[in-house]
């Protein structure tokens, strides 16, 4: 008698699940009864340590940023007299350290540069404030700038009535009073109205004269954010408070933010509308003498609403902040329903376990051999090895039918793979030939040397591989690069072939070539032609933004166009045109280096240098009538 594999597998899986469940119930019952108290205490300590360690890590980064900035200002590498450079450095530090909310520097005259991260926007946004005081402590100007994620300026606002003087702020005076790196007590930031702490440090010049104070803001929201990742269960909470009972960090950050925005202070524990947290705090006060336990932790137990809770507090072991990390959770968090149902579940699990073991052994013996063969066939197909196997008799109908189906599928896959390979080769060859012919059409009209597009294509291949492109991406780049001058089809021949310098009107017409090429290639579905469209449109854009037609800059220019721009310029310089003579290769290489950082992407120029020997070999192979003495010594 044969049965369906569906019934066999469902029965086996259900029985095995019962065995597993019973085993877990028994082991959990024994272990929880023995180690409940120890586990609860350790778990809460781990939560507290996690909060402390992460907070210290962020604060250590803030201190390191403060020290580094101080050294750079002391050495005059950075200066408030160069506010743009100083602002860019502050922005880079904010980009590297997401938990730092702001960095600023004020000199002794009150001149102030501040860059901070803005919150609540879909796209990353940064603001920069620049306040200038003259030698007579008179406010000269105050400007507020906004910048995007690459520090491009979006707006500027002149502030007529500026009330902010950095020399009156607590971070400035505390750094001067201590004469070293100092942390402020938690306070509400002037600009963002958000709670946080500041690491500040006086800055001296080489002559040991005070020139100002550097400050780094850390939002307390970074500490509160840790609570979102803590799985404390229902009716459980962790929070941070100071010696005045004010909440420094709490899972619901909005409570702290609302109080800080309205009254410029932190909420007290009796103001957060959490009676369980208040009861836990009162129990901690009754059991311990606050701030007298050093780095040790104290555990307490308390009741609320007929439920038993376990709590723990641990002092934040940092010399600047006598904070307390408090954690509480209900006893049911550890035992849950196991306490009431453990006996019934264990008895039921034992009965099911015996039956499951006997039944599973029977089914496994019958299906293991057939499933192993089916698995072997599937693995061969996954690895691309279409090998048929002999079908063996099986007690299960589906297993035997599956083996037949796999063999039939292998026959179909072998035939389909051969057909697909032939079609793919044919399509690929047709695509490459079509693109090449189209590129030759543009080359025929343009006054370029023979094999120009072939050389440019080969150069792109070398540089693309050097810059880490995959072989497939490099292959697409090679094909698309052949169409880089396609737009010159639309330029009058008398302009392209003119031996004298172009007039202003002729040059304006010549600049339309990228747009013409892009229009020819627009809306293409082919990935290669889409890439050719981007190259044709942005080939003449410069790294510093002075190119055309759209004055793109930096990584706003596609990498493919940046690569083609370098090799096209190089190949054009070393071959004669109607309007110029060829220049020596060494001179062309020098000009490429000169244009690095202005016209060309420095990373592409570096890759060009790395591939130079191979590029010169391609030049030697594909350039007509190349004499050995024309090449640099490195290519001989």
- The verdict on residue 251 lying in a domain is yes
432 and 302 together in one domain: no
Measured distance CA(480)–CA(483) in Å, rounded? 6
170 and 272 together in one domain: yes
Could you report how far apart the first and last alpha carbons of the chain are, in Å? Answer: 82
Task: Kindly report which listed range (13-17, 84-88, 598-602) carries the lowest average pLDDT score.
Answer: 13-17
State the total domains in the chain: 2
Average pLDDT over residues 379-391: 68
- The verdict on residue 505 lying in a domain is yes
- The verdict on residue 502 lying in a domain is yes
Measured distance CA(239)–CA(538) in Å, rounded? 54
pLDDT tier, 18 (very low <50, low <70, confident <90, very high otherwise): low
Average pLDDT over residues 330-349: 65
Question: Residues 199, 204, 209, CA angle at the centre, nearest 5°?
Answer: 140
pLDDT at 630: 46
- The verdict on residue 566 lying in a domain is yes
pLDDT tier, 155 (very low <50, low <70, confident <90, very high otherwise): very high
- Given a contact cutoff of 8 angstroms between Cβ atoms, the answer to whether 174 and 200 are in contact is yes
pLDDT at 431: 62
CB atoms within 10 A of CB 360: 17
454 Cβ neighbours under 8 A, 6+ residues apart: 482, 622
Q: Quote the pTM value.
A: 0.47
292 Cβ neighbours under 8 A, 6+ residues apart: none
For the domain that residue 138 is a member of, what is the CATH number? 3.30.450.20
Q: Which of 290, 306, 333 is the last residue of a domain?
A: 333
Q: Which of 333, 350, 366 is the last residue of a domain?
A: 333
pLDDT digits (tens, 9 = 90+) for 262-289: 555 677 777 777 888 888 777 777 765 5
- The verdict on residue 391 lying in a domain is no
Which residue spans within 229-306 are E strands per DSSP? Answer: 237-241, 247-249, 297-304
Task: Kindly report which listed range (289-298, 356-365, 448-457) carries the lowest average pLDDT score.
Answer: 289-298
Token pair of 8, please?
Answer: 């066999």
318 and 446 together in one domain: no
315 and 436 together in one domain: no
Tell me how far CA of residue 22 lies from CA of 15, 323, 343, 350, in angstroms. Answer: 11, 45, 11, 6
- The verdict on residue 96 lying in a domain is yes
pLDDT at 240: 82
Q: pLDDT at residue 295 above 60?
A: no
- Residue span of the structural domain in which 312 resides: 51-333
pLDDT tier, 91 (very low <50, low <70, confident <90, very high otherwise): very high
pLDDT at 290: 46
535 Cβ neighbours under 8 A, 6+ residues apart: 480, 481, 483, 484, 558, 560, 561, 564
pLDDT digits (tens, 9 = 90+) for 58-72: 788 889 999 999 999
| Average pLDDT across the chain, whole number | 80
What phi-psi label fits residue 233: left (phi over 0), alpha (psi between -120 and 50 degrees) or beta?
A: left
pLDDT at 424: 65
Q: pLDDT at residue 145 above 70?
A: yes
pLDDT at 23: 74
Long-range contacts of 603-612 (CB under 8 A, 24+ apart): 603/467, 604/463, 604/467, 604/559, 604/562, 604/563, 604/565, 604/566, 605/566, 607/463, 607/466, 607/467, 607/563, 608/463, 608/566, 608/567, 608/570, 610/466, 611/459, 611/462, 611/463, 611/466
pLDDT digits (tens, 9 = 90+) for 158-187: 998 888 899 999 999 999 999 999 988 888
219 Cβ neighbours under 8 A, 6+ residues apart: 99, 101, 189, 194, 195, 196
Q: pLDDT at residue 539 above 90?
A: yes
pLDDT at 343: 60
Q: pLDDT at residue 319 above 60?
A: no
For the domain that residue 435 is a member of, what is the CATH number? 1.10.3210.10
H or E stretch at 328: strand 324-330
- The verdict on residue 29 lying in a domain is no
In this structure, the chain runs to a length of: 636
262 and 149 together in one domain: yes
Dihedral sign for Cα 575, 581, 584, 589, please. negative
pLDDT tier, 474 (very low <50, low <70, confident <90, very high otherwise): very high
- The verdict on residue 5 lying in a domain is no
Q: Which of 281, 305, 333 is the last residue of a domain?
A: 333
């Amino acid at each position: 008698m044969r049965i369906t594999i569906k019934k066999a597998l469902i029965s086996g899986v259900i029985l095995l699940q019962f065995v597993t469940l019973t085993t877990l119930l028994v082991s959990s019952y024994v272990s929880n009864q023995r180690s409940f108290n120890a586990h609860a205490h350790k778990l809460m300590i781990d939560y507290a340590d996690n909060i402390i360690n992460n907070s210290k890590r962020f604060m250590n980064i803030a201190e390191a940023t403060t020290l580094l900035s101080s050294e750079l200002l002391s050495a005059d590498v950075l200066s408030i007299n160069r506010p743009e450079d100083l602002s860019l450095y502050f922005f880079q530090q904010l980009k590297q350290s997401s938990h730092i909310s702001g960095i600023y520097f004020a000199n002794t005259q009150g001149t102030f540069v501040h860059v901070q991260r803005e919150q609540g926007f879909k796209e990353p946004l940064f603001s920069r404030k620049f306040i200038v005081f003259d030698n007579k402590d008179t406010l000269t100007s105050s400007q507020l700038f906004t910048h995007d994620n690459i520090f491009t300026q979006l707006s500027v606002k002149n502030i007529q009535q500026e009330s902010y003087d950095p020399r009156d702020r607590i971070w400035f005076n505390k750094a001067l009073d201590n004469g070293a790196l100092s942390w402020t007590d938690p306070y509400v930031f002037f600009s963002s109205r958000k709670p946080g702490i500041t690491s500040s440090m006086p800055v001296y010049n080489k002559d040991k004269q005070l020139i100002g104070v550097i400050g780094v803001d850390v939002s307390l929201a970074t500490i509160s954010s840790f609570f979102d990742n803590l799985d404390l269960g229902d009716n459980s909470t962790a929070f941070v408070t100071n010696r005045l009972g004010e909440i420094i960090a709490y899972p619901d950050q909005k409570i702290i933010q609302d109080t800080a925005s309205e009254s410029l202070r932190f909420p007290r524990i009796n103001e957060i509308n959490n009676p369980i947290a208040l009861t836990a705090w009162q129990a901690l006060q009754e059991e311990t003498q606050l701030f007298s336990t050093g780095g040790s932790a104290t555990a307490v137990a308390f009741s609320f609403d007929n439920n038993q809770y376990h709590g723990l507090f641990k002092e934040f072991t940092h010399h600047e902040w006598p904070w307390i990390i408090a954690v509480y959770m209900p006893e049911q968090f550890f035992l849950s329903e196991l306490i009431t149902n453990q006996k019934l579940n264990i008895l039921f699990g034992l009965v099911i376990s015996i039956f499951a073991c006997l039944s599973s052994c029977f089914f496994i013996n019958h299906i293991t051999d057939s499933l192993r063969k089916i698995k072997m066939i599937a693995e061969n197909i996954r690895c691309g090895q279409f090998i048929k196997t002999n079908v063996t008799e099986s007690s299960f109908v589906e297993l035997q039918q599956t083996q037949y189906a796999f063999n039939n599928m292998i026959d179909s896959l072998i035939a389909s793979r051969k057909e697909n390979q032939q079609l793919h080769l044919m399509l690929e060859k047709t695509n490459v030939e079509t693109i090449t012919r189209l590129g030759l059409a543009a080359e025929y009209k343009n006054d370029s040397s023979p094999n120009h597009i072939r050389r440019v294509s080969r150069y792109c291949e070398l540089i693309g591989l050097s810059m880490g492109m995959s072989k497939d991406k490099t292959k697409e780049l090679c094909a698309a690069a052949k169409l880089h001058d396609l737009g010159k089809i639309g330029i009058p021949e008398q302009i392209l072939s003119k031996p004298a310098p172009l007039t202003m009107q002729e040059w304006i017409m010549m600049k339309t070539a990228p747009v013409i090429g892009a229009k020819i290639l627009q809306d293409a579905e082919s990935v290669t032609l889409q890439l050719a469209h981007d190259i044709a449109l942005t080939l003449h854009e410069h790294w510093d933004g002075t190119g055309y037609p759209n004055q793109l800059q930096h990584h706003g220019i596609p990498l493919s166009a940046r690569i083609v721009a370098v090799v096209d310029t190089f190949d054009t310089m070393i071959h004669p045109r109607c309007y110029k003579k060829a220049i020596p290769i060494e001179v062309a290489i020098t000009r490429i280096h000169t244009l690095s950082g202005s016209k060309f992407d420095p990373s592409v120029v570096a890759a060009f240098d790395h591939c130079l020997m191979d590029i010169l070999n391609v030049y030697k192979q594909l350039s007509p009538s190349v004499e050995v003495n024309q090449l640099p010594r490195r290519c001989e």
